[in-house]
Amino acid sequence: MPTELRNVALVAHVDHGKTTLVDALLRATGTFAAHQAVVERVMDSNDQERERGITILAKAASVTWRGVRINLVDTPGHADFGGEVERALTMVDGVLLLVDAAEGPLPQTRYVLQKALARDLPAIVIINKVDRGDARADEVLDEIYQLFIDLDAGDHHIDFEIISAVAREGRAMRGVGMPDEDADLAPLLDTILAAIPAPTGDPGAPLQAMVTTLDASEYLGRLAIGRVVNGTMRRGETVALLEEEFAEGQPPLKRRLTQLMAFDGVTRSEVDELAAGDLFIVAGFPEVEIGDTIASVEDPRALPRLVVDEPVLRMTFGVNTSPFAGRDGKYLTSRHLVDRLNRELLGNVSIKLFGTDSPDVIEVAGRGELQLAVLIESMRREGYELQVSRPEVITKEINGKRFEPQERGVCDVPDEHVGTVTQELAPRKGRVTDLRPGDPGRTIVTFECPSRGLIGFRSLLMTATRGTALLHQHHLGWMPWAGDLPDDRGGAMVADRIGVTTGYALDKLQLSGQFFVDPGTDVYEGMVVGECAREDEMVVNVVRAKEKTNIRTHSHDDAVKLPAPRLHTLESAIEWIANDELVEVTPKHLRIRKRHLGLEDRRKANRRVKPS
Q: What is the DSSP code string of 427-494?
A: GGT-EEEEEEE-STTEEEEEEEEEGGGGTTHHHHHHHHTTT--EEEEEEEEEEE---PPP----EEEE
Last residue of a domain, one of 163, 195, 227: 195
Paired with 273 in beta bridges are 234
280 falls within a domain? yes
Last residue of a domain, one of 275, 296, 317: 296
Assess whether 165 and 266 both reside in one domain. Answer: no
249 falls within a domain? yes
Q: What is the pLDDT of residues 365-386, one digit of tens each?
A: 987 777 788 889 889 888 999 9
Residues across the chain:
612
Work out the pLDDT band at 54, boundaries 50, 70, 90.
Answer: very low
Work out the pLDDT band at 274, boundaries 50, 70, 90.
Answer: confident
Assess whether 147 and 291 both reside in one domain. Answer: no
- Give me the mean pLDDT over the 266-276 stretch: 82
595 falls within a domain? no
Instruction: Give the distance between the most distant pair of CA atoms in the chain.
Output: 96
Q: What is the pLDDT of residues 407-445, one digit of tens each?
A: 888 888 888 888 888 888 888 888 898 888 866 788 888
Last residue of a domain, one of 271, 296, 321: 296
Q: What is the pLDDT of residues 457-503, one digit of tens each?
A: 877 787 788 777 777 777 778 889 888 887 777 889 999 999 999 98
Residue with more model confidence, 333 or 23: 333
Assess whether 245 and 285 both reside in one domain. Answer: yes
590 falls within a domain? no
Assess whether 188 and 218 both reside in one domain. Answer: no
The gap from C-alpha 419 to its chain's centroid, in whole angstroms, comes to: 29
Work out the pLDDT band at 35, boundaries 50, 70, 90.
Answer: very low
Residue with more model confidence, 38 or 346: 346
Q: What is the pLDDT of residues 382-415, one digit of tens each?
A: 899 999 998 888 888 888 899 988 888 888 888 8
Q: What is the pLDDT of residues 283-321, one digit of tens each?
A: 877 778 778 888 888 888 888 887 666 788 899 999 999
Residue 152, CA atoms < 13 Å, CB-side half-sphere: 2
pLDDT at 319: 93
Paired with 253 in beta bridges are 241
Domain at 452, CATH number: 3.30.70.240
Assess whether 229 and 121 both reside in one domain. Answer: no
Work out the pLDDT band at 82, boundaries 50, 70, 90.
Answer: very low
Assess whether 137 and 257 both reside in one domain. Answer: no
Domain at 227, CATH number: 2.40.30.10
Considering only 98-102, 143-147, 428-432, 552-556, which range has the smallest mean pLDDT? 552-556
Assess whether 428 and 465 both reside in one domain. Answer: yes
Assess whether 162 and 276 both reside in one domain. Answer: no
User: Across all residues in the chain, what is the average pLDDT?
Assistant: 81
pLDDT at 2: 47
Domain residues for the domain of 280 are 208-296
560 falls within a domain? no
Assess whether 79 and 30 both reside in one domain. Answer: yes
361 falls within a domain? no
| Residue 515 parent element (H or E) | strand 513-515
Work out the pLDDT band at 137, boundaries 50, 70, 90.
Answer: confident
Work out the pLDDT band at 40, boundaries 50, 70, 90.
Answer: very low
Domain at 31, CATH number: 3.40.50.300
Compute φ and ψ for 19, nearest 5 degrees. -70, -35
Dist. CA 385–CA 584, nearest whole Å? 8
Q: Is the pLDDT of residue 592 over 90?
A: yes
Which range, 284-293, 562-571, 601-610, has the best average confidence (pLDDT)? 562-571
400 falls within a domain? yes
510 falls within a domain? no
Assess whether 228 and 89 both reside in one domain. Answer: no
Assess whether 59 and 152 both reside in one domain. Answer: yes
- Listed as own residue / partner, the contacts of 343-351 with beta carbons closer than 8 Å and 24 or more positions apart are 343/216, 344/375, 346/214, 346/215, 346/216, 346/222, 347/57, 347/213, 347/214, 347/215, 347/216, 348/375, 349/83, 349/87, 349/214, 349/290, 349/308, 350/83, 350/308, 350/309, 350/311, 351/311, 351/375
Q: Is the pLDDT of residue 606 over 60?
A: yes
Q: Is the pLDDT of residue 29 over 80?
A: no
pLDDT at 603: 87
Assess whether 144 and 213 both reside in one domain. Answer: no
Task: Give the chain's domain count.
Answer: 3
pLDDT at 440: 75
